């Protein structure tokens, strides 16, 4: 039965689209780093992708119900890992986000996203679909809020924001009422206003990154530089693009970190509007396939897990692409499966492994 489920029920079309996106990623990282100090990062990306594929296949073999059973232990370990980052983590560019393991740097906050998806799914599934009380909602906020606080003090605002859609998806699928949603939104706006003006939570540079996209020309060589150069790169690509490795913004080293946060801008400069639309279409097809897997899941926990993955991936795509075209603030959120980054790639593949896990057991009682 295990063998039957592994090969007949595995979502091969989804895997094919994911692999295609990874091939595009490796090619773009290679061309975007030709004249930079990041030459050779495409090779590292290949190893991360291969490692992610292995992790995905292995995780797809572990019954997701078993994963839900051990979630309390996983959650506890994730909290300890975030605390460890603050105590013994490696500091890079003013932020302490990584733990060094031999020659590699591991970012626990990425791993925590998967744990939170499982934890939120378990929490709302255990409520049995009943109407949510204020106590239920507060417990859900606490479940996600503790890791968010630990990550934002690293400081890592971008990853902190990616935890929010997991909670939102859980609340919406868990049965939150319109009245409760309205109260939460108003409360959230008040808290955001308080945090923004407190001066104790957000650093000045984080505030600049969150507001610079509104008027990048106000400080084109300072806080508006990233957005301005990105917009120039995207616009210069035109309809068909300038060609592979022929983007002046990318090859001239004007576009910041073109292999990571701004890889979509580099790709758009080389392949133009048509290439950008095709990549976005590929993302759309992947998301639709994921939603289909959520609809065909055998039970509520399975649906909640898959929709948690959908929420995170969708949020990252919207924020990253919005950042590149000047519609969203620069938060350092990577583009799933395209941006360079080992921890991000591994998270995405492990999340897909859990999705495959749910799909493979949709007909198993």
Q: Which pLDDT tens digit goes with each residue over 38-55?
A: 778 888 999 999 999 999
Q: What is the pTM of this model?
A: 0.89
H or E segment and range at residue 185: helix 178-198
Question: What pLDDT, on a 0 to 100 scale, did the predictor assign at position 155?
Answer: 75
Question: What pLDDT, on a 0 to 100 scale, did the predictor assign at position 316?
Answer: 94
Residue 331 covered by a domain: yes
Degrees (nearest 5) of the Cα angle 126, 128, 131? 115
Flag whether pLDDT at 365 surpasses 70.
no
Residue 365 covered by a domain: no
Flag whether pLDDT at 193 surpasses 90.
no
Residue 225 covered by a domain: yes
- Domain of residue 266: give its range: 2-360
Residue 192 covered by a domain: yes
Question: What pLDDT, on a 0 to 100 scale, did the predictor assign at position 4?
Answer: 46
pLDDT in tens, 68-93: 999 999 999 999 988 888 777 666 65
**Nearest alpha carbon to residue 85 among 112, 67, 103:** 112
Would you call the peptide bond into 155 cis, given omega within 30 degrees of 0 as the criterion? yes
Degrees (nearest 5) of the Cα angle 209, 210, 212? 60
Distance CA 200, CA 12 (A): 48
**Per-residue confidence at 196, pLDDT binned at 50, 70, 90?**
low
Residue whose token pair is 């051990």: 70
Residue 273 covered by a domain: yes
What mean pLDDT comes out for the span 200-215? 63
Distance CA 272, CA 195 (A): 39
Residue 193 covered by a domain: yes
Record the tokens describing residue 351, joined without a space: 């999340």
pLDDT in tens, 238-292: 899 888 888 888 887 788 888 888 899 999 999 999 999 999 999 999 999 999 9
**Nearest alpha carbon to residue 82 among 160, 6, 15:** 160
Contact indicator for 120, 299 with CB cutoff of 8 Å:
no
Contact indicator for 116, 144 with CB cutoff of 8 Å:
yes
Residue 265 covered by a domain: yes
Question: What pLDDT, on a 0 to 100 scale, did the predictor assign at position 179?
Answer: 87
Q: What is the DSSP string of 287-335?
A: HHHHHHHHHT-SSHHHHHHHHHHHHHHHHHHHHHHHHHTTSS----PPP
**Per-residue confidence at 341, pLDDT binned at 50, 70, 90?**
confident
What mean pLDDT comes out for the span 90-103? 63
For all residues of the chain together, what is the average pLDDT? 84
Strand bridging mode 104-106 / 90-92: unpaired
Residue 73 covered by a domain: yes
Number of domains in the chain: 1
Lowest model confidence (mean pLDDT) among 21-35, 42-56, 88-102, 219-233: 88-102
Flag whether pLDDT at 2 surpasses 60.
no
Question: Which of residues 241 and 224 earns the better pLDDT score?
Answer: 241
Contact indicator for 176, 131 with CB cutoff of 8 Å:
no
pLDDT in tens, 53-62: 999 999 988 8
């Amino acid at each position: 039965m295990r063998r039957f489920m592994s090969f007949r029920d595995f979502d091969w079309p989804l895997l094919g689209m994911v692999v295609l996106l990874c091939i595009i990623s490796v090619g773009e990282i290679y061309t975007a780093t030709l004249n930079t100090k990041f030459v050779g990062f495409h090779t590292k990306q290949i190893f991360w992708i291969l490692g992610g594929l292995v992790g995905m296949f292995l995780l797809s073999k572990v019954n997701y119900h078993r994963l839900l059973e051990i979630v309390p232990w996983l959650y506890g370990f994730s909290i300890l890992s975030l605390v460890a980052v603050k105590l013994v983590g490696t500091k890079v560019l003013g932020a302490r986000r990584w733990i060094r393991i031999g020659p590699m740097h591991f970012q626990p906050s990425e791993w925590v996203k998967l744990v939170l998806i499982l934890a939120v799914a378990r929490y709302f599934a255990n409520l049995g679909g009943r109407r949510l009380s204020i106590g239920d909602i507060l417990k859900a906020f606490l479940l996600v809020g503790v890791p968010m606080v630990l990550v934002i003090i690293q400081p890592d605002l971008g990853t902190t924001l990616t935890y929010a859609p997991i909670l939102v998806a859980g609340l919406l699928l868990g049965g939150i009422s319109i009245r409760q949603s309205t109260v939460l939104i108003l409360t959230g706006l008040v808290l955001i206003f308080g945090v923004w003006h407190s001066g104790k939570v957000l650093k000045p540079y984080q505030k600049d990154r969150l507001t610079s996209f509104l008027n990048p020309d106000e400080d084109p060589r300072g806080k508006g530089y990233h957005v301005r150069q990105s917009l120039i790169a995207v616009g210069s690509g035109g309809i068909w693009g300038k060609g592979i490795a022929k983007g002046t913004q990318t090859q001239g080293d004007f576009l910041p970190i073109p292999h990571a946060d701004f890889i979509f801008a580099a790709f758009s400069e080389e392949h133009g509007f048509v290439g950008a639309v095709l990549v976005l279409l590929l993302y759309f097809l992947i998301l639709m396939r994921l939603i289909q897997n959520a609809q065909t899941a055998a039970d509520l926990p399975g649906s909640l897990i898959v929709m948690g993955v959908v929420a995170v991936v969708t949020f990252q795509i919207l924020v990253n692409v919005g950042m590149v075209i000047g519609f969203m603030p620069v938060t350092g959120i990577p583009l799933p499966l395209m941006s360079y980054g080992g921890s991000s790639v591994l998270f995405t593949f492990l999340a897909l492994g859990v999705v495959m896990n749910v799909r493979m057991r949709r007909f198993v009682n």
